[in-house]
Each structure stands twice: as structure tokens, then as C-alpha cells.
Amino acid sequence: MTETVYTVTGMTCQHCVASVTEEVTKIEGVQDVKVDLPTGSVTVVSAAELSDDAIRAAIDEAGYELASR
């Protein structure tokens, strides 16, 4: 099990948080997603390390931008 913290820009409300959580949760192997709105930090707990492409695509699909990991 691995926990990775990403930074996502553009989230400004709880609906944004819900969208990001929903998309990231869809990634295979993801067990838990915690979003901190004020800082934009997205903590992802997964069985194995996620590919940058997978997390980037999910954030993009939600309508936001992956700033860093």
C-alpha cells in the first residue's frame, strides 16, 4: 500500500473536491482519496504506485490541473 500526495490547482469549492475525488477513485487500485481544499493537496492511498499518466488524466477529466506530485 502506498500513499502519494499530489497538488491540484483550480479547486475552489466542495463540488470541485467531489469531482476530483470521484475521478481519482475510478483509477484501478485506488483505495482512498483525501482532498484538502485550502492547499489543493490530494492524498491518494493505493495498492501500488499510480502512473503519473493515470493521475493526470483523472484530474484533467475532473476539469482541474495536476500541479505536482
Q: Which residues contribute to the site for ligand 9UX (CB under 6 A)?
A: 12-13, 15-16
Q: Compute the least distance from the CB of residue 63 to ligand 9UX, in Å.
A: 8
> In the block, which residue shows the cell 505536482?
68
Nearest residue (CB) to ligand 9UX, 11 versus 50: 11
Enter the DSSP assignment of 51.
Answer: P
Nearest residue (CB) to ligand 9UX, 15 versus 28: 15
Nearest residue (CB) to ligand 9UX, 12 versus 25: 12
Compute φ and ψ for 38, nearest 5 degrees: -60, -35
CA distance 2 to 45: 6
